Amino acid sequence: MQLSGKTILVTGGTDGIGAQLIRQLRSKGATVIAHGRNADRVAAVRDDGFEVIQADLSTQAGIDAVLAGVMGRRIDALINNAGAGADHDFREGAPDLAAADATIFLNLNAPIHLIAGLMPELKSRGEAMIVNVTSGLAIAPRAGGPVYCATKAALRSYSQALRYQLQGSGIHVLEVLPPVVETKLTAGRGSRKMAPDECARQIVSAMERDADEANIGIVKVLQLVNSISPALARKIMIRF
């Protein structure tokens, strides 16, 4: 996709990977509409000259607010980047099921609802793109994060099926599988993390190439291992 002149909606665009994405997309000449939840971060991004829709995508009301915020607007690309994790480890105690439900809604339901709501507009563009940010953990899960891993694996399957459905429609579906990136979501999880600006750079590059799948950083190695032996990939990642 030629990004210059395109209008792109980025969920989770006020922090982490998303905050880098919106700036790199703008530098390519795109008009960016960002979404964020935290009021302070939303205000900071607005001060930087971006249009921002504030909403909580772990709720139906939040999804409705984002769709209402872009109603009647031209949208050439949707980047489903917003995501969260929930502690869910029975070795450490009873999990918070409300947090699990919110994670499932944000990571899986919200992208599906936004895609459905924007599909007529995307089809009308002639050339459009849906970018779903999953994770290397969509390939093989880790024991400590089963809910997060399950949502990303589900979104991966959804992306693959959607890509097949939309063949010939002019809508390209790109799945992005990042490694562990230095964000609030991964705080306390080791020190070998990718910088968010580099992750964003590789996502933007994949969009420009019309790639079907972007394996970012060390995920390339995980994909190679998985192609040879899925059982070995699972054995490696389950302890991660």
What domains lie within the chain, and their CATH numbers? 7-237 (3.40.50.720)
The answer to whether the pTM exceeds 0.85 is yes
CA gap 140, 153 in Å, rounded: 8
Q: What is the Cα 53 distance to its own chain's centre?
A: 17
Q: What is the Cα 131 distance to its own chain's centre?
A: 7
Whether residue 23 contacts residue 34, with contact meaning beta carbons closer than 8 Å, is answered with no
Q: What Rg value do the Cα atoms of the chain yield, rounded?
A: 17
Residue with tokens 């390209």: 172
CA gap 175, 166 in Å, rounded: 14
Closest residue by Cα to residue 16 from 77, 100, 84 = 84
Catalytic residue selected from 148, 149, 152, 158 = 148
Whether 158 is catalytic: no
pLDDT digits over 167-218, tens only?
999 999 999 999 999 876 655 555 678 999 999 999 999 999 999 999 999 9
Whether residue 228 contacts residue 142, with contact meaning beta carbons closer than 8 Å, is answered with no
In this prediction, the residues of the chain whose per-residue pLDDT falls under 70 are 184-191
